[in-house]
Chain A
């Protein structure tokens, strides 16, 4: 008898109703069995702010009950979130209640070395006093320029811009430039005369054909971009993915091109070749908006699909077909720039090649291609003029070629590359060598020095040589526990920050405001910067009594107020997304020297660089090693979120991906633990093996951000391996200053022990 039939029969035979909704039992008043109370049972209030579990800056609504934030959701009126949130945004609240947080200022115990990790608690007054006297001593001995600031996060306006400008040092860097987006920004600046910015201006809603190159949408969960990508695919847009790995995006693609790592420029040159030689480019657009087509046409003649096929390990017909399909869908066809573009050291040229493909499709400033993002109108706070304006940049930093005379010594990396923005990793040699002058002090705000900057040994050597090293952070990260003074910052749910102006199709301003008071003795970044400024004699720049006064003054410049911003959260303005919008007002969006899209860059030629992109083969590794590729987990942001128990329950360790045939040859299987050892003998791990068909045989892949060695981060510590630790080398992009990181190779060393780690469940139960 069929068992389901049996079940029914058994029920029917006793004349019972199978489903007896809600009426089964006589309920007794039983306090012991009451269902647990839920946070939403009582009164819940909403606070509008924006998220900081990554740097996309989605507008959110924090739900507060009984003085605690329980849930964070997307805020429907915000153009970044549109009422939705990614896993990191959803899980961010667990960080605020993480018992491992830095709770009060710490000062390194006298007589210990940096890295020993021995600290004593201190008052804010003492800690800030120590920092101020250290900074003033450095200024007196070496000059104010000898203080460096590394900053990342919403508070980087204070520690990457405001305070260092008032203090007067040009040595300010953000990892989001030369360790991430630098090449695409520099290339865009010198091709289109506009940056890309923090929110890639792809006109997803109108595009019909998308080609992603090493762009892991889906594993990279930048909220709006993922929404737009998904909507485009639902609408029927075609997708081509170029990646050595079968990424999540590749699994959604009609065509996957599993390219040999490091040969993307050859592929792009071949596409240019096809577009030019088969006359598939948009002639009217090229004629009207570009310069240098003749030089480009001559330049790309040799770069046939067959030539590229040999280099890229792809099929020549597939290369040709994609170029033709791009052209057939143009201008509603787009090759987005991606985000992390520091790969092989020739990255600005690769990004130039990518932009030239787009330019020939005639899609820049046109529906279905790139829209023209604009920043909203907002005035700075009317402080006295700063002695200098550092050029840390951001995702969208300025990319000038010239050195500005500020009356102060030039930045220590000045002249080493073409772009004007700081290459943050190039400030480190000056800490060691003292050339061209000594960097003697460092304030690191929200930057993980050991998980973002390649060559960790060099960074550690530099930290040992500093006179003063201050870390401002939320958690006792690996590098934080090296500092002389550690300042505990409040999490984003507990603080105000400066206003954020988002360049977008609809430009907008977002307010960060606290949903709850700071836990323990933590303080917001603005408070720390101001208190430090006052102790450094910079009172003139900090004349505002508190952040509310500061924000209100700025908001009044656009006819709003803090009160209004607190109620609305996001203030949206109108944009000019397309060329037609600019032309209607007789405006030219192209900020290049020629005022047009520069297919041929005279500026590059004058500076001694190739005016048209060329292909450079990537380096080779030692025999038996694999190129180390890395990427993202949808539930993690860099190395910031690995102590968040909710997110770690989703993805609690990384694994080294290797092709099944290679794993078999090495005698390792999925789940085995190995060490990873790079070309310079640097070892990290143990890390689990993931044997898969999903990538080429010449590379391995690690999700970035794991492998913390930080005892105080009890959830993160010892889980997985760090790709950054294995990057003892990088190749400098001479144009953007970007640190090309995909030039490292690793071997798998079998037989590593399975790490013994406390259970996540136990760790989670400590949540406060």
Chain B
């Protein structure tokens, strides 16, 4: 079984939000809630400045805190390692929203919890997630972590540095950030998937 993962090269990302718009339309995400967003951080004083745009979404953690807290099993991990919500059995209690360290989940107004699916419907057909396919900076790579020749494995190998968000949470995310600009970064030995 593949172990799907994504890597985002922050040296390349310009925060244009093409990924966020693509996600919105691909997945018909209702107005007012989002599966994918971009965080901007600025550091320094003029003219000694640094800046980072960081797209964020569900990290499809290998140890997802959002799954065990679910009282109905709606929040689950697939055999491919995708962390998904089954709308049919979700009671919208919000336990998973509370448990996610990354604010990746939201209440869909239609009565269940929504989140990034890595575009499962696309990857089962051999396509890339919508955000990866459209990115005009080519900063996103996706693929099977167990396949050393997959795009994502190659990108992680070639990166100058690899970061994960909140490594101290022990979630072992399968979305990692590459080449975080100097002055930023989280660096996490052993936290990688």
Interface residues, chain A, with chain B CB atoms under 8 Å away: 4, 7, 11, 18-25, 27, 30, 33-36, 38-40, 70-74, 83-87, 89-91, 93-94, 217-219, 221, 223, 226-227, 230-231, 233-234, 246, 248-252, 256, 258, 634-635, 645-647, 649-651, 659, 692-696, 759-761, 764-765
Looking at A34, A35, A39, A70, which has the most chain B CB atoms within 10 Å of its CB? A35
Cα A761 to Cα B31 with chains together (Å) = 5
CB <8 Å contact, A35 and B72 = no
In the A-B complex, list the 9 residue pairs whose CB atoms are closest, starting with the nearest: A24-B73, A764-B31, A218-B14, A761-B32, A634-B16, A35-B87, A251-B51, A230-B137, A90-B21
Q: Which residues of chain B are within 8 angstroms of A659 by Cβ–Cβ distance?
A: 46
Bound state CA distance, A250 and B27, in angstroms? 33
Nearest-CB distance from A84 to chain B (Å)? Answer: 5
User: B68 contacts which of A7, A251, A764 (Cβ < 8 Å)?
Assistant: A7
Q: Which of A30, A36, A89, A692 has a CB less than 8 Å from the CB of B28? A: A36
Instruction: Provide the bound-state CA to CA distance between A177 and B44, in Å.
Output: 38
Question: Does the CB pair A221–B136 fall under 8 Å?
Answer: yes
User: Cα distance A256–B46 when bound, in Å?
Assistant: 11
Q: Are A73 and B134 in contact (CB under 8 A)?
A: yes
Say yes or no: A71 contacts B26, CB within 8 Å.
yes
Q: Is the interface of B mostly helix, strand, loop or mixed?
A: loop
Contact-size category for B = 35 or more
Contact partner of B16 (CB less than 8 A), chosen from A22, A39, A218, A251, is A218
- Whether the Cβ atoms of B21 and A650 lie closer than 8 Å is yes
B72 and A221 within 8 A (CB): no
Is the CB–CB distance between B17 and A764 below 8 Å? no
Indicate if the CB atoms of A35 and B88 lie closer than 8 Å: yes
Given A230-B12, A256-B47, A693-B42 in contact, is the A19-B67 Cβ separation under 8 Å?
Answer: yes
* Contact of B89 with A27 in the complex, beta carbons under 8 Å: yes
Contact B42 A86 (CB under 8 A): no
In the bound complex, residues from chain A placing their C-beta under 8 Å from that of B42 are: 692-694
- For residue A86, which residues in chain B have a CB less than 8 angstroms away from its CB? 16, 18, 136
**What are 19 A-B interface contacts by the 8 Å CB criterion?**
A4-B169, A11-B68, A19-B67, A19-B77, A21-B79, A33-B89, A35-B88, A36-B110, A38-B121, A219-B14, A221-B136, A226-B16, A249-B14, A251-B50, A252-B14, A634-B14, A650-B17, A759-B32, A760-B31
Pair B32/A19 contact, Cβ less than 8 Å: no
Task: Provide the bound-state CA to CA distance between A90 and B87, in Å.
Answer: 26
List the A side residues contacting B133 at CB < 8 Å.
73-74, 83-84
Closest Cβ–Cβ distance, residue B102 to chain A (whole Å): 15
Q: Which of B22, B49, B50, B65 has most A Cβ within 10 Å?
A: B22
Main secondary structure on A side of the interface with B: mixed
| Complex Cα gap A646–B65 (Å) | 31
Q: Select which of B65, B76, B87, B121 is within 8 A of A22 by beta carbon.
A: B76
Min C-beta distance of A694 to chain B, whole Å: 6
With the chains together, A90 CA to B22 CA distance in Å?
A: 6
- Once the chains bind, are A645 and B31 in contact (CB under 8 Å)? yes
Q: Does B193 contact A (CB under 8 A)?
A: no
1/0 contact string of B88-109 vs chain A (CB within 8 Å): 1100000000000000000000
Question: Do the beta carbons of A74 and B31 come within 8 Å of each other?
Answer: no
Please tell me if the beta carbons of A233 and B170 are within 8 angstroms of each other in the complex: no
> Which residues of the other chain, A, contact B17 by a CB distance below 8 angstroms?
87, 634-635, 650-651
Complex: A728 Cα to B48 Cα, angstroms: 34
Q: Do the beta carbons of A649 and B31 come within 8 Å of each other?
A: yes
The reply to whether A24 and B89 contact each other, CB–CB distance below 8 Å, is: yes
- Smallest distance from the beta carbon of B127 to chain A beta carbons, Å? 10
Q: Is B181 in contact with chain A by the CB < 8 A criterion?
A: yes
Query: Please, which residue of chain A has its CB at the minimum distance from the CB of B132?
Result: A84
Q: Which of B12, B45, B65, B74 contacts A7 (CB 8 A)?
A: B65
Contact with A along B39-63 (1 / 0, CB 8 A): 0001011110111110000000000
Inter-chain contacts of A760 with B (CB < 8 A)? 31-32
Known interface pairs A39-B28, A90-B21; A33-B88 also in contact (CB < 8 Å): yes
The listed residue (B79, B86, B134) touching A84 by CB distance below 8 A is B134
> Counting CB contacts under 8 A, is B186 at the interface?
no
Distance (whole angstroms) from the CB of B33 to the closest CB of chain A: 9
Contact indicator B46/A696 (Cβ below 8 Å): yes
Q: A91 CA to B34 CA in the complex, in Å? A: 15
User: Is B139 an interface residue, CB under 8 A from the partner?
Assistant: yes
* Contact yes or no, A34 B88, CB < 8 A: yes
Is B135 in contact with chain A by the CB < 8 A criterion?
yes
Given A22-B86, A233-B11, output 9 extra A-B contacts at Cβ < 8 Å: A19-B64, A24-B89, A33-B87, A35-B88, A91-B25, A230-B137, A659-B46, A759-B32, A764-B32
Min C-beta distance of A659 to chain B, whole Å: 7
Provide the bound-state CA to CA distance between A732 and B88, in Å: 64
B24 contacts chain A at the CB level, 8 A cutoff: yes
A90 vs B68: C-alpha distance in the bound complex, in angstroms?
A: 36
Assess the B21–A251 pair: CB atoms within 8 A: no
- Of residues A71, A231, A233, A645, which shows the largest number of chain B Cβ atoms within 10 Å of its Cβ? A71
**Which residue of A is nearest B77, CB measured?**
A19
Chain B contacts of A251 at CB under 8 A? 49-52, 181
Say whether B136 contacts A223, CB under 8 Å. Answer: yes
Would you give the shortest CB distance from B139 to chain A, in whole angstroms? 7
B15 contacts partner chain A, Cβ-Cβ < 8 Å: yes
User: A19, A87, A248: which contacts B21 (Cβ < 8 A)?
Assistant: A87
Whether B20 is near chain A, meaning CB under 8 Å from some CB there, is: yes
Report how far A634 CA is from B25 CA in the complex, Å: 17
Q: With A248-B51, A635-B16 as known contacts, state yes or no: A74 contacts B67, CB within 8 Å.
A: no
Knowing A256-B47, A696-B46, say if A91 contacts B21 (CB, 8 Å): yes
Tell me, rounded to whole Å, the shortest Cβ–Cβ distance linking A173 to chain B: 31
